[in-house]
Amino acid sequence: MVVGSKRSQGRKDGSKVKREEAVGAMEAKGHVWDVIVIGGGATGLGVAVDASARGYKTLLLEQSDFAKATSSRSTKLIHGGVRYLRQGRLSLVSDSLKERGRLVRNAPGLVQPLPFIVPTYHWHEIPYYLAGLKLYDLFAGRWRMDPSRRLNRQATLEQLPNLVSSRLKGGIQYYDAQFDDAQLAMALAETIFRLGGKAVNYAQVRELLKEGSRVDGVIAEDLESGKVSTIRGRAIINATGVFADAIRRLDHSDAPPIMTYSRGSHIVLPASFLSSKAALMVPKTSDGRVLFAIPWQGRLLAGTTDVPTTEASLDPSPSTEEIAYILGHLRDYLRRTPEPHDILSCFAGLRPLVKAGGAGQTSKISRDHSIEVSLSGLITVAGGKWTTYRKMGADTIDRAIETGRLKKRQCVTEKLAISSPGPDGPNRNSNNDDEDEDQPVSSEQPEAERRLHPSLPFSEAEVVSAVRHQMARTVEDVLARRLRALFLDVEASVEIAPKVAAIVAKELGRTDDWAQRQVVQYKRLAGKALPQTAEA
């Protein structure tokens, strides 16, 4: 049985997250939280879900929007990591495949199996790749999806009609899973609320509080109101991804850095460049990585790169070299080849990698996670990836228990159902029995169901729902993460930005000047998402 699978469990309005409610709890004087989580990306959300599910009083604080940085800029895959199998990282592959299976079961509306095809152009590749992917199936154990199998030349071209056919011998088909990272992030935020926890976006931790030598709280600022709050907690967890070292320095000013960063970039093209329900996997690129071309939300998503970088940033941009790298590898495999002017959007995220002695290329640094407990008791969880976010959360709370900060309670997230974003998001929920304010917008304003733009499948109702029920506070929150318009078609998203700004301003009680500033800021961001303005 899946725990928490009924929407009636926990909060009555479990499909909605209310920022005002969460801020009120954050600012409450005299309250002591069991767990304070700093960071609202995949890792922090996973930690907060685990803590809330065990019954700990949990507060999550995010300096920007949920999944603002790396966690909304992934390759949109929940996978074991084929390249890690080749590198011999068998425990990471095994753990990841188990977590993949759990996510498919626990979040069926958000995570779905997806077939991948590895084209083969030399006879010796067929047994090599088939044996490797059969081993991949074996490591999945009872979580295995459809078994990997060989495809002949005709079957491969039927699945991938735009594939280069010259010298093609056939292909190997295997399965992994696909998701939408920002939507899963919001689903986790909603799950925290459903379980009795609280999560606040745009709440920045300024200082760590200590009683003697022991960290026992934070000072955080609500970036909307400017109000600063003193918040006490038993276990303070640093789950800030690429910003982990900055929080560690709040604990100890000369804490040695443990993080290094790798930029992964992607491009988005019209789906016609693949014309398939299956994904293409390029097994070995010029720098030894794998590259994916994946059907996603009516588009084709291609990536990723692996470029070492020294600067942690919320808004990294793909370089022109990375875009050329992706296009160049696609041209090796597609008969109809994409050009820069075909790109609808491009984006980059920074992988938070934990430094290892003697590590060379970032592509060879493990994606496994590590947990550090400082002398003051600050718990830092670093590294990892979306696929293993649940295990990272469980391991972190287990570690907090080991330190004596929390009473022992068993992890229950292995079978915990994840709330679907709702009620009017991409995974709509039909349970709407609250007051008029929380009714679907379509019942109040039928005209709001009209599309915002002919090239995008979104309505005004979904913008309103993003503000009312999913804590969207800005035009960027709506277009980049709640609706994904920025990632699907940059130019179309810019065209609808003024209309979206007006809706958000009305919902939040903002002025026309605020809405105009939002449009300017969004256009500045959108300018980074097209190849001719991508920064090196």
**Residue at 489 is within a domain:** yes
CB 111 within 8 A of CB 177: yes
Does one domain contain both 249 and 380? Answer: yes
Does one domain contain both 397 and 443? Answer: no
Does one domain contain both 409 and 450? Answer: no
Does one domain contain both 386 and 459? Answer: no
CB 372 within 8 A of CB 379: yes
The rounded distance, in Å, linking the Cα atoms of 322 and 308 is 12
**Residue at 453 is within a domain:** yes
**Residue at 145 is within a domain:** no
Name the DSSP class of 217: E
For residue 253, the tally of other CB atoms under 10 A from its CB is: 7
Does one domain contain both 446 and 390? Answer: no
The rounded distance, in Å, linking the Cα atoms of 193 and 173 is 40
The rounded distance, in Å, linking the Cα atoms of 307 and 289 is 11
pLDDT in tens, the chain (536 residues): 333 333 333 333 344 678 999 999 999 999 999 999 999 999 999 999 999 999 999 999 999 999 999 999 999 999 988 877 777 778 888 999 999 999 999 999 999 999 999 999 999 999 999 999 999 999 999 999 999 999 999 999 999 999 999 999 999 999 999 999 999 999 999 999 999 999 999 999 999 999 999 999 999 999 999 999 999 999 999 999 999 999 999 999 999 999 999 999 999 999 999 999 999 999 888 877 889 999 999 999 999 999 999 888 889 999 999 999 999 999 999 999 999 999 999 999 999 999 864 334 444 444 578 999 999 999 999 998 999 999 999 999 999 999 999 999 999 999 999 987 665 444 433 334 333 343 444 445 555 578 899 999 999 999 999 999 999 999 999 999 999 999 999 999 999 999 999 999 999 999 999 999 999 999 999 999 998 644 43
Count of domains observed in the chain:
2
Does one domain contain both 529 and 455? Answer: yes
CATH number of the domain where residue 212 is located: 3.50.50.60
* pTM tops 0.75, yes or no: yes
Q: Which of 173, 46, 185, 35 is nearest to 117 (CA)?
A: 173
SS3 for 53-116, per residue? HCCCCEEEECCCCCCCCHHHCCCCEECCCHHHHHCCCHHHHHHHHHHHHHHHHHCCCCEEEEEE
**Residue at 134 is within a domain:** no
Does one domain contain both 384 and 453? Answer: no
Antiparallel, parallel or unpaired: β 228-238 and 198-200? unpaired
Does one domain contain both 214 and 247? Answer: yes
CB 485 within 8 A of CB 462: no
DSSP bridge pairs for 35 = 58, 235
Predicted pLDDT at 438: 39
Q: Which two tokens stand for residue 75?
A: 């390759």
Does one domain contain both 249 and 371? Answer: yes
The rounded distance, in Å, linking the Cα atoms of 342 and 340 is 5
Does one domain contain both 386 and 457? Answer: no
DSSP bridge pairs for 293 = 280, 302
Q: Which domain holds residue 212?
A: 19-70+183-256+365-415
Total count of residues recorded for the chain: 536
Q: Which two tokens stand for residue 315?
A: 């808004």
**Residue at 105 is within a domain:** no
CB 398 within 8 A of CB 411: yes
Does one domain contain both 250 and 392? Answer: yes
**Residue at 146 is within a domain:** no
What is the CA 228 to chain-centroid distance, rounded? 28
Does one domain contain both 515 and 454? Answer: yes
**Residue at 36 is within a domain:** yes
Last residue of a domain, one of 415, 446, 480: 415
For residue 470, the tally of other CB atoms under 10 A from its CB is: 27
